[in-house]
Amino acid sequence: LFLTNERHHLRVAVDAPQHSGLSGCLDYSSAQALEPGTLVSVPFGQRQVCGIVWRGEPQELGDIAIKPVSQVLYVLPALSERWCKLAQFAASYYQRSLGEMALSVLPPELRKLDNSQLENRLVRLHKNLAPLEVSTPITPPELNLEQATIVAQLDTLNITGTSSVVLLHGLTGSGKTEVYLRAAEQALAKGQQVLVLVPEINLTPQLEARFMERFSGGSTPRRIVSLHSGLSPAQRLKNWLTAHLGLADLVLGTRLAVFASMPRLGLIVVDEEHDPSYKQQEGARYSARDLAVYRGKLESACVLLGSATPSLESWHRANESRYVRLTLPTRVGGGALPKVRLIDMGVLPKVKGGDTSLTPPLVAALAQRIERSEQSLIFLNRRGYSPVLHCMACTWKSGCPYCSAWRVFHKLDRTLRCHHCGFAQPVPRACPDCGNPDIAAIGQGTERLEELLSAALPGARIARIDADSTQKKGALETQLASVHSGEVDILVGTQMVTKGHDFRRMTLVAAVNPDGALFSSDFRAPERLFAMLMQAAGRAGRSAEQAERSEMWIQTWFPKHPLYAALCEHDYNAFAASQLNERKIAGLPPFTHLGLLRAEAKTADAARAFLQTAAEILSQFPGADQLLVYPAVPTAVARVANIERMQMLIEGSSRVVLQRVLTSWMASLPALRRQHKGILRWALDVDPLAI
Ligand code: ADP
Ligand code: ZN
Ligand code: ZN
């Protein structure tokens, strides 16, 4: 062994919170030179923390003593340079500190372990690794002409070796997943790893089952792991390590899996790419879909974005030929989309008591389905019994004392519950203001709809699926299974039921009260509504013999609205064209780019003052004249748990200019916050989804 006194200076990314003002890496010393991407343990304040050796020149610190690295996690291969670049990009694009970004996306368990603990984990991992067993290969379905054409095109794109982004547009049931499977097969055959992203945890088992069936056996069996927040910390670490060590060929997961370390990544699939769940809503507010596209470029990997209703951002890029658009125009096996019927609420006779959701024609249609042993789905995006209770004598309504929102009446346990802060109380026997015992419910939630249905259709087997009915672990699976096995005639639910589930016997889907989103202050509300209704429609008519008589009903007060007209024709293209035209005229994304600064304080004035001063600071940075800063306004639900929330939108036509200004701005906000004592929390959201 050759010993010298020479010390190597290193940059190390550590998780310093954004508000600490430390944005990048810290300097440490080490006896050996360390490859960038190596995990280390370093002293940080009074603690030992996990860090990642980062590329870059250490700062000139003169005589200041640099602390040595405490431990090098040499048992693990370093994170790749491409992985580091992804983390670096995500940090700078979403305006977070590099260390926070890079470390927060590692499995939390990994950050706690030292060399010997990690070594133990690795030994156990290798020992318990399920062996790959060769078996008789299953025969995949023969591709239809459209699928075959697309798979051939993907192969050509892949052979040219340039990374490309493909937007796969196809209805529910048009065979997109089969295309993913074939694309994966091509990549796997080349020895590459495949990453598949899905929007929600409860969709992972279904997709995992299809990938397992196709790839876990055969002549070259593959290893498949999942990554999502529902795994235990130990399981998540194990799966992450399996991917990092290159032992897993396929990684399936939710948005956090976009950061999985995969040394041979060759294909990224983003299923339901339009889904808002791809955007992280706290901490580093990244979009996994957008990062997947960036990662594809870094890794020279093909990115496959699939949806029946692509996000307008992706659609616009395809229009500009930045993405390759491939279309699957028909449902496999001849299943047609259900016929859409608009039920004009304006011409129906008024019902006493205002119970308008369950209209007589709908009851008749449901009865008919039951007679034919078919199933129906009723979709209402509001859980609970009734969104508000009110007194018939005075003006009392069931407001939340801590939020600017109504408390929802839940009849099952007779509580008034706030869906924003969780505050719950037993329902009062009489009006708390005037003592009048006559308290009435206004409006409907899923719970009440379920009750009305039982009354209108005695003997009907009704199930309800929403956040309340699925709280217990496994409840959702049990309920879905009973729908699949035919034990349910009518399924009532929130948007939870519209995603991904393939109900074979469903011939009627009804949206009973979808109008709200047409007039929302959020410019994306129509896009979300259209996607949701298309997705709901996709639940019906999945088998050819039922397609004929399948229907989707929309009960609306605005039957002439262009959104519903496009829906009747199942015409996403027309809807997208008209929305993009509106966005262009209004100067909204994807034609402009947005940042949103949010502030929370005890009073609205304190929050506003912070945002206004922040706006003044912003105006002084070069490039600010090319941005539009909107006045600070309260958020949609302005007060939650007695905290006032305000937001301020910043808009720019150049992403580069917006980015540059935001970066300078972010550096000055921690100091500003210290001057504004009343501010409890603040955050910047780049490319915000909900406004
Ligand atoms: P999507 O992902 O667009 O909803 P899927 O790929 O799940 O569509 O296909 C819908 C159904 O049709 C699935 O049951 C699938 O197994 C089947 N399928 C897909 N492609 C074919 C094909 N070429 N031949 C026969 N069945 C197919
Ligand atoms: Zn009263
Ligand atoms: Zn509340």
Q: How many whole angstroms from 641 Cα to the centroid of ligand 3? A: 5
Q: What is the pLDDT of residue 351?
A: 62
Q: What mean pLDDT is predicted for residues 538-556?
A: 80
Distances (CA, A) of 223 to 251, 259, 672: 9, 19, 50
Q: How many CB atoms lie within 10 A of CB 373?
A: 9
**Around 60, how many Cα atoms within 13 Å sit in the side-chain half-sphere?**
0
pLDDT tens-place string over residues 268-312:
999 999 999 999 998 899 999 999 999 999 999 999 999 999 999
62-69 contacts at long range (C-beta below 8 A, 24 or more positions apart): 66/9, 66/27, 66/28, 66/29, 67/28, 67/29, 67/42, 67/43, 68/7, 68/28, 68/29, 68/30, 68/31, 69/10, 69/12, 69/28, 69/29, 69/30, 69/34, 69/40, 69/41, 69/42
Q: How many whole angstroms from 331 Cα to the centroid of ligand 1? A: 8
Instruction: Give the ligand with the smallest distance to the CA of 400.
Output: 3
Q: What is the pLDDT of residue 131?
A: 84
Tokens of 398: 């069931």
> Looking at 12-21, 361-370, 498-507, 537-546, which range is the least confident one?
537-546
* Cis peptide bond N-terminal to 589, omega within 30: no
Q: How many whole angstroms from 246 Cα to the centroid of ligand 3? A: 47
Ligand 1 pocket test, candidate residues 177, 181, 185, 203, most atoms within 8 A of CB: 177
pTM: 0.92
Q: What is the pLDDT of residue 687?
A: 96
Cα distance between residue 224 and residue 209, in whole Å: 10
Q: What mean pLDDT is predicted for residues 361-380?
A: 93
pLDDT tens-place string over residues 473-503:
888 888 888 888 889 999 998 888 877 677 7
Backbone angles phi, psi at 265, to 5 degrees: -60, 125
Tokens of 186: 């091509």
SS3 of residue 542 by DSSP: coil
Q: How many whole angstroms from 397 Cα to the centroid of ligand 2? A: 8
Q: Measured from the CA of 178, which atom of ligand 1 is nearest?
A: 6
pLDDT at 432 over 70: yes
Q: Whose CA is nearest to atom 24 of ligand 1?
A: 141
Ligand 1 pocket test, candidate residues 178, 211, 534, 542, most atoms within 8 A of CB: 178
pLDDT at 542 over 80: no
Q: What is the pLDDT of residue 193?
A: 97
Reported confidence tier of residue 2, pLDDT bands at 50, 70, 90:
very low
Sign of CA dihedral 250, 255, 257, 261: positive
Q: Measured from the CA of 308, which atom of ligand 1 is nearest?
A: 3
CB 198 within 8 A of CB 254: yes
629-633 contacts at long range (C-beta below 8 A, 24 or more positions apart): 632/599, 632/607, 632/608
Q: Measured from the CA of 271, which atom of ligand 1 is nearest?
A: 2
Q: Measured from the CA of 170, which atom of ligand 1 is nearest?
A: 3
Q: Whose CA is nearest to atom 16 of ligand 1?
A: 178
Name residue, tokens 């409860």.
Answer: 202
**Around 341, how many Cα atoms within 13 Å sit in the side-chain half-sphere?**
13
Q: Whose CA is nearest to atom 26 of ligand 1?
A: 141
Q: Measured from the CA of 331, which atom of ligand 1 is nearest?
A: 10
Q: Give Rg (Cα) of the chain.
A: 27
pLDDT at 93 over 80: yes
CB 83 within 8 A of CB 261: yes
Cα distance between residue 318 and residue 324, in whole Å: 6
Any residues with CB less than 8 A from the CB of 104 and at least 6 apart, and which? Answer: 15, 283, 284
Any residues with CB less than 8 A from the CB of 235 and at least 6 apart, and which? Answer: none
Q: How many whole angstroms from 403 Cα to the centroid of ligand 3? A: 4
Q: Measured from the CA of 328, which atom of ligand 1 is nearest?
A: 3
Q: How many whole angstroms from 342 Cα to the centroid of ligand 2? A: 38
Q: Measured from the CA of 179, which atom of ligand 1 is nearest?
A: 6
Q: How many whole angstroms from 372 Cα to the centroid of ligand 1? A: 26
Q: What is the pLDDT of residue 303?
A: 96
Report the Cα 646 to chain-centroid distance in Å.
23
Report the Cα 454 to chain-centroid distance in Å.
34
pLDDT at 1 over 50: no
Tokens of 258: 């976009």
Q: What is the pLDDT of residue 19?
A: 61
Q: How many whole angstroms from 645 Cα to the centroid of ligand 3? A: 13
Q: What is the pLDDT of residue 353?
A: 53
Q: What share of the chain is helix, strand, coil (3-state, %, to 5)?
A: 35, 25, 40
Instruction: Give the ligand with the smallest distance to the CA of 146.
Output: 1
pLDDT tens-place string over residues 204-240:
888 889 999 999 999 999 999 999 999 999 999 999 9
Sequence length of the chain is 691
Reported confidence tier of residue 543, pLDDT bands at 50, 70, 90:
low
CB 221 within 8 A of CB 262: no
pLDDT at 552 over 90: yes
Reported confidence tier of residue 442, pLDDT bands at 50, 70, 90:
confident
pLDDT tens-place string over residues 313-370:
999 999 999 999 999 988 887 777 889 999 998 888 776 555 568 889 999 999 999 9
Q: How many whole angstroms from 336 Cα to the centroid of ligand 1? A: 13
Any residues with CB less than 8 A from the CB of 292 and at least 6 apart, and which? Answer: 195, 197, 258, 268, 270, 303, 305
Q: Measured from the CA of 180, which atom of ligand 1 is nearest?
A: 6
Reported confidence tier of residue 691, pLDDT bands at 50, 70, 90:
confident
Q: How many whole angstroms from 355 Cα to the centroid of ligand 2? A: 22
Ligand 1, pocket residues at CB < 6 Å: 141-144, 147, 170, 172-178, 332
DSSP code at position 68: B
Average pLDDT, the chain: 90
Using a pLDDT cut of 90, give the percent of the chain over it.
Answer: 67
Q: What is the pLDDT of residue 159?
A: 65
> Looking at 155-159, 376-380, 652-656, which range is the least confident one?
155-159
